[in-house]
Amino acid sequence: MGDQVAANYLKTFLDRQQVRKFKKGEIIIFQGEAPRYAYAVKSGTVKAYNLSVNGDEKPVAFYTADNIFPATWIYGKVPSAIYYYEAFTPEVEVYIIDKQTLVKFIKKSPELLYQELDRLLSDQLGGSMRLNALQHSRASDKLIYTLHYLALTHGNAQEKNTIEITLDLTHQDFANLTGLTRETAATELNKLKKQGIISYGKNMPYKLNITKLLQQVNDQFISDIQPSTLQT
């Protein structure tokens, strides 16, 4: 069973499940809640985040089509959700699934198990890159490494060397992702725009010149990680 066949197999299963809709900003799962169901994204984007002691939002991950959450609860590692899960796009549709039914279904297929392993490893890589970005002291480096993370996890290849970020992010979102103030995030983004590393505008997606971006990454091994859509 190839990747596409495994994906179709999962889709057939998910299409038999109940669907629930959420508007942007609605909480799907509260932090500390013991979920009644496992969830899989049908359409839209779900944001997972934590809150600091000061109430500042700290994004952890973004989930898109067919992503299953919360994985740590689904696979029995925690008794309740350790993050908030919120609708990030104007409308989000999620499948709601009995946890045990989902786990049993995935266990039936080695291909689906491998697909889930691959997804979780991608999440782990994204998480480690987010941590690496936050450990830098300079605001410019925090943003550069965060953009690299976004290109890898939520980027679509366009023309040569161009990656479009598929998330509709605001300057405040970038501030939350990097631990910077909104003003500093906006200033640093504008500097990158003048350097031709990023382009954006009103009602326009963020586009990265991946070659120029990686030239700013001062770590050979990190910069060698490129979006799969660009790899040959």
Q: Is the dihedral of CA 3, 42, 39, 92 positive or negative?
A: positive
Classify 55 as helix, strand or coil: coil
Classify 204 as helix, strand or coil: strand
Tell me: the pLDDT tens digits for 203-220? 889 999 999 998 888 776
Tell me: the pLDDT tens digits for 37-50? 999 999 999 999 99
Higher pLDDT, 47 or 224: 47
Q: What is the mean pLDDT of residues 194-201?
A: 94
Take residue 86 and report the two structure tokens written for it.
């919120």
Tell me: the pLDDT tens digits for 91-123? 999 999 999 999 999 999 888 899 889 888 888
Name residue, tokens 């979102």: 173
So what's the pLDDT on residue 146? 94
State pTM to two decimals.
0.88
Q: Helices 3-14 and 110-135: crossing angle, nearest 10°?
A: 100
Classify 86 as helix, strand or coil: strand
Tell me: the pLDDT tens digits for 121-148? 888 888 888 888 889 999 999 999 999 9
So what's the pLDDT on residue 1? 46
- Report the alpha-carbon distance of residue 188 to residue 19 in Å, rounded: 40
Going along the chain from its start, the domains and CATH numbers come out as 3-115 (2.60.120.10), 136-218 (1.10.10.10)
So what's the pLDDT on residue 221? 60
Using only the alpha carbons of the chain, give its radius of gyration.
18
So what's the pLDDT on residue 224? 66
So what's the pLDDT on residue 220? 62
Take residue 2 and report the two structure tokens written for it.
């190839």
